[in-house]
Every structure is written in structure tokens, then in C-alpha cells.
Chains A and B, each alone.
Chain A
């Protein structure tokens, strides 16, 4: 009867076990293996729930297709990070992996509910576990600075978010989203909406709440950067998709305008700022901001196809950006720099990694037949269908601009003859193969995935 809760329980048991075992045996491999196995079991349990077609809706937890879709996406981001983390870590493995699992649990809970309290607790669990992870390289000043910025700005925005929730409670005496949709919010509705948008805007790094992202992404350990981009950000979108289309349907005219404006600002600023970056991590951080802008188009359109487009873009960005950060981390480990210029000759010395990175970047740039093209295509299509042609046009122009800086990286990797030594270890190669296959599979419209996304979008309205 409570079978649907098992994946969550596993993500709770795994980190506790990891810490407990670490008290007895100080090992590198045990936390690593336990976490990966835990995540895999969790994913397969989710798939099992999907196949059996059941759902759970009791207490504050609600497990349905939407929450499963997003939870699997978080778990994929988590497994990408976990697979390569041992290459970066020197000590405190158990702490790293347990925090990672806790963070995953928080994300999963934040989208598996219909209650604002649970959403808040999940989001805080995720980000409070992430802050130590961002500052995990204690001796590096940049890592600590990144964590400090994340801590303070996350504190402010989540405080404003909870203030927004308290205003909802003031007007309606409930925190349940379904009840919220039935009650009129009264005069406090607009401030409440604004504060909630701010809280979410920070998590998804929408302009002008995006400032933490480039700094934190650059300073954090690369696997964590990947995790921030692929999972933590998506949690913000998950929460936005949960709250707005359902609970605040009566204010749709208001928030769709806000999201449309945020989408335009986020896409444009992210893309433009990315062009002049020399550090590839920072460039991808800005690109990740612009990708959030595309996801916001779906919320601005707020039709079923638009929401489904957002969900597919979430998946495409999760795979493309997550894998790209990891691959860059692998390259940076061997050539000891993150400057784009130093990537010259990579196409020859490690063809698999270079090909995978190229495909990730092309997917982010929206070139068919990779995942990013399909998702953006659906998003722009949904905008045109809702007579928001201007939004689609801005999106298309932006994706054309983004090609410029992605092509620059590809050019550096392939078009220069330079001998560099790069011995990239196996976990990165596994990620590379996974990224290539999954981006092509999604990009060619592998039907079960798209179907799941559309069904997940259907549960939202």
C-alpha cells in the first residue's frame, strides 16, 4: 500500500547508512557504490510505479506521473554527479555522498506533494545540503566564496518565499494547493504571488535573480556545478509547475505576463553574457541561465503543450548541461585549466569526450537531431499557437545567438592542431556514452519519454 513511498525511503536510508558505515570503516568506495546503487534502485522503483500505473495521495505526499518524471530527472542528475565524484574528492567521501543523497531526497519531496509546507521543507533540505557541497573544497577560497554567495542569496530568497506562503495562509488559512485553488485570495494575492515568484526565480536563476548562478557555478566543485545545473535548478521549475498552473489558475493572466517577461530577460541576458566568457564553466553557467529562459516560455504559455514542452526542455537541459559540466570537469582535471582556449586539440587526443561534449553543446544550442532541438521546437510551437509569436521569435533569435559561443568551443576542440596530453578516466567515458545515447534518443522523439512528459503535464491542470 505504501509501495509508492519506497524510493523516497531508500534515498533516506542510503545517506544514513553511508554515514553510519563511515564511523566504522573509512573507505572511498563504499559510500560511492552505496549511493550509486541506492539511486539506481530508486530510479527502478519509480519506473516500476510508472508501469504499474498506481499513484499515492495521502498526508502531505502525492506521488503521480509529474512527480515521478521530475524525480527521475533529479536522480539522473544525481547519478551523473555521483559517478565521477570520486575523481575529484580527496577526503570526507561519506559526508559528500550523504549530503548528495539528502539533497536528492529534498528535491524529490519538493515536487511530490500538494502542500506548500512540504514544498518549503523539500526545497530547504535540498539547498541546505547543497551549500556544504558547494564549499566542499575547504581550502579553496573560490569554493567558499561561492558557498557564501549561495548561502546569503538563497537565504534571502527563501525567506521571501516563505513570507509569500505565509501571506497565502493569512488570506486562506490553508497551505494545500488544491484547497488554495478554490478560495479567493483577496487583497494580499499580488504581494504573495510576487514573493513566491522571487523564491522560485532564485532557484531557477531567472533574471534578475540569477546573479548567484555564474559565481556559484564557477566556484563550486565541478560535479556539484553539474548537480546545481541539472537538478537543483529543475527543482525550482518543478515547484513553479506545481504551484502556478493549478493553485493559482485564477491569476493566470497575471503570472503568465510575469513569466513571459522573465523568459525574455533570462534568455537574452544569459546568452549575451555568455559570449565573452573565457572560462568554460562560467560560459556554461550563463548558458544554463539562458536555458532556464526557454523553460519559462512553457510557463508563460501555460497550455498543456507548453507545459509539456517545459518538461521536455527540463529533461533536455538536465542531460545536456549536466553531462557537459561533468565532461568539462574531466577535461579540466587532466589539462588543469578551464579556459576555452586550452581546449585546442582535444578532438584528436580524446575523441569520445570531445564528441560527447560537442553533442551536448549542439543539443543546448538547439541543433537537430538532439534533445534540445525537439524541446525548443515544442516550446516555440506552443507559443505560436497561443498567439505569442513575439516570444517565439525572441526565442529563435536567442537560440541562433547561442550557437555562436557553442561553436566557438567546438571550433577550439576540432579546428586546431595541437598536441595535448589528456588521459581521461573511465567514469567520464561512461558519462560521455550515456550523454550521446540519451540526447539522441530524446531528440529523435523516443515516444515513451514524450508520452510521459505529456501525461505529467496533464496532471498539472
Chain B
């Protein structure tokens, strides 16, 4: 039954993450919401790695990769701030149609 709880937690985290991605305007907060989804996956991977350790190993890889992703993201956001002095994603729509 404990397994079921982990699953519910991870699904909840995914939904919160998606909600954040859709509603938030600040790019760094959006990146944090994405982290939530990734961590939901990590919970699954770690909690269910009972038969073997693949899940735990995979989870640590995912953490490393998400760190890299945030680094790249921060660089882009910083550059955006330098160019526009404003990082509201709702204002970033020069490319459309």
C-alpha cells in the first residue's frame, strides 16, 4: 500500500508542476516547476527500485541532468534580462504567427 502513496505523491507533484508552468510568468519559477515534475519522476524511480538499483542510479543521473538544465536556463534568462531589462515571459513574444 505504501507504493500507492508514493505514486499519488508523484502524480500530485506532476500536476503542481504543470499548473505552475502554465500560470507563472517568471522564467525561473517556471524552471522550478519543471524541477517539480522531474522530482516526481525521481520519487517514482527511487521508491520503486526494490528489485534492483537501476532506479536509484537513474534518479541521480536525472538530478545531475536537471542541474545542467537549470544552468543553461539561468544563462538564457540572464541574457534576456541584459537585453530587455524585463524577464516576464508574457512580454517575450516577438516571434509569432
Contacts and interface: CB of A to CB of B under 8 A. Distances in A.
The short answer to whether A and B are in direct contact, CB under 8 Å, is: yes
Interface residues of B, number: 46
B76 A159 contact: no
Contact of B89 (A148, A162, A165): A148
Contacts of A218: 95
19 contacts: A124-B65, A128-B65, A128-B68, A128-B72, A141-B94, A144-B76, A144-B80, A145-B80, A145-B92, A145-B94, A145-B95, A159-B41, A162-B62, A163-B14, A165-B41, A166-B42, A169-B45, A170-B44, A219-B95
B76 A147 contact: yes
Interface stretch (A63-71, A149-157, A302-310, A389-397): A149-157
Interface stretch (A5-13, A130-138, A335-343, A431-439): A130-138
Contacts of A152: 21, 27, 30-31, 34, 73, 89
B95 A142 contact: yes
A145 B84 CA distance: 10
A121 B83 contact: no
A207 B27 CA distance: 24
Interface residues of A, number: 38
A249 interface: no
Contacts of A142: 94-95
Given A155-B73, A156-B21, A163-B41, 13 more contacts: A124-B68, A124-B69, A131-B76, A141-B84, A145-B80, A145-B95, A149-B92, A152-B31, A163-B14, A169-B45, A173-B48, A174-B52, A215-B95
A146 interface: yes
Contact of A139 (B75, B76, B83): B83
Contacts of A412: none
Nearest to B42: A166
B54 interface: yes
A263 to B, nearest CB: 24
B16 interface: no
Contacts of B96: 215
A141 B85 CA distance: 12
A131 B95 CA distance: 17
A224 interface: no
A117 interface: yes
B88 to A, nearest CB: 11
Contacts of B68: 124, 128
Contacts of B31: 152, 155
A173 B50 contact: yes
A215 B34 CA distance: 21
B34 A169 contact: no
Nearest to B57: A117
Interface string B48-64: 11111011011001100
Contacts of B57: 117
A167 interface: yes
Contacts of A174: 52, 54
B9 interface: no
Interface string B1-42: 000000100100010011001000001001100100110111
**Which 8 pairs of residues, A with B, have the shortest CB-CB distance?**
A166-B44, A159-B37, A215-B95, A166-B41, A155-B34, A173-B51, A163-B41, A162-B41
A185 interface: no
B48 A169 contact: yes
A141 B92 CA distance: 9
A173 B52 CA distance: 7
A162 B38 contact: yes
Given A117-B58, A138-B79, A148-B77, A128 B48 contact: no
B34 A121 contact: no
A176 B42 CA distance: 18
A272 to B, nearest CB: 13
A86 interface: no
A147 B80 CA distance: 10
A84 interface: no
B64 to A, nearest CB: 9
A146 B95 contact: yes
A9 to B, nearest CB: 21
A160 interface: yes
A175 interface: yes
Looking at A142, A165, A166, the one whose CB has the most chain B CB atoms below 10 A away is A166
A142 to B, nearest CB: 6
